[in-house]
Amino acid sequence: MSIKLLMQLGKETYQVLEELSKYSKEGPGVTRLYLTEEHKAAYSYLEKLMTDIGLTVEVDNIGNMIGTYTSPEKTNKTIVLGSHQDTVRNGGKYDGAMGVILPLIALKHCIQNNIPLKYNVKIASFGDEEGVRFATTYLGSKVLAGTFTSDLLDRKSEYGNTLKEELISFGLDPNKIPEDKLTDDIVGYLEVHIEQGPVLQHKNLAVGVVNAIQGSHRYTININGMAGHAGTIPMPLRKDAGVGASESMVELTRYLETIENIVATFGIVEFLPGSINVIPGEANFTMDIRSLDEKLIKDTVTKFDQILRDVCNKRGLTYTLTNTNEAPPTTCSDTIIKQLETSVANVGSDVFTFPSGAGHDAQEMKNITDMGMLFVRCKDGISHNPLESVTENDLDIAAKVVVDFLKNYQV
């Protein structure tokens, strides 16, 4: 493959991602949430991209779009490449979307240049990965992997509608979701994704091979006290739920700063009734905790439960700690790791293998097949942010790796 041709692949990928980013709610960055008008409009664009290169396109009943290339080898074996179409609010152009578009451009190159592929190829655009709207992640990949459970249909959106209701409104049939599990002979899953961290930039590398994905547990915490007048109740007599929440978060943060290999984030915090002159009578907040060590995650949750208990007992408060989602740490397939490492070397890049700190659809797909991931450098490691950035050159290298991987993949 010539450098000129490679640059064309990178440029095309970059341009398509720029166009796709326009399917967004107004505001900073990209906001393309699951089961919204932006989701629907993006799929109209994506469907044309897929059909233009001869893929058979379908949308399943959870809102995944899947384009299928049928190998002339007349095989039942299929390799899946994909990622998610949805974003966080005010996110970037490349998280998720790059993992749909870059493999699509690589596959287009293979088809148009008559590069023989031994297996059928599916390009999957998962409707939901981020979990922004229904407080649970990986809805799209769970359906393909057969791990979706019917109780998830009762999850409510920010508008109070259930997932089931919104699927129906989107034109889908939630009763048929069990039929959407992949039943082909799936021989591997590859997800291309921006790193969302600074390691590749620090190493001055365009791409890296992932060997494991951190586990992630999510919780909601509710603390109840007593609302009261801000000026008339002395500090020692208050039952301030806001202070209780704040103290608990700070205590766990200080504890985690003394140990390694685990992180916790309190991403949403709400004090009620939410008035400048009223003591908060209720506090609601979330915790996202991640590590490659499942036991360390569980031990830390136990520690936080004890912190909450001690703080609330001291301040006359009550609390609940509720788990909303669990994704265990996941190792990538040795077979795919080795073949990705070979493809990276084949394109002339240094081989570097490391774990992912973020969760990905690949964790669900491992339930049905071998899986692996290829990371692409992003500027300063910034993600979930309008400042998310990649270069055409790095996309060139990643596209070249994917083409080589598709040509040479063996099971």
Binding residues for allantoate: 218, 277, 290
DSSP 245-309: HHHHHHHHHHHHTTSSS-EEE---EEEES--TTEE-SEEEEEEEEEES-HHHHHHHHHHHHHHHH
Binding-site entries? 84, 95, 130, 193, 218, 277, 290, 384
Distance CA 26, CA 171 (A): 24
Give the C-alpha separation, 74 to 56, whole Å.
Answer: 16
| Distance linking the first and last C-alpha atoms of the chain | 25
Residues of the binding site for Zn(2+): 84, 95, 130, 193, 384
CB proximity list for 19: less than 8 A, separation 6 or greater: 45
Largest separation between any pair of C-alpha atoms in the chain: 80
Determine the residue type at 22.
Answer: K
Q: Other CB atoms closer than 10 Å to residue 197's CB: what's the count? A: 19
The DSSP result for 49-81, as a single string, is HHHHTT-EEEE-TTS-EEEEEPPTT--SEEEEE
Q: What span, in angstroms and rounded, lies between the C-alpha atoms of 97 and 296?
A: 32
Please name which of 346, 352, 404, 359 lies closest in space to residue 376, comparing C-alpha atoms: 352
Do 77 and 187 contact (CB within 8 A), yes or no?
yes
Half-sphere exposure of 311 (CA within 13 A, CB side): 24
Before 273, cis peptide (omega within 30)? yes
In angstroms, the CA 359 to CA 290 distance is 9
- Residue 379 DSSP symbol: G
In whole angstroms, give the CA distance from residue 94 to residue 242: 36
Please compute, for residue 275, the number of CA atoms within 13 A of its CA located in the half-sphere on the CB side.
Answer: 10
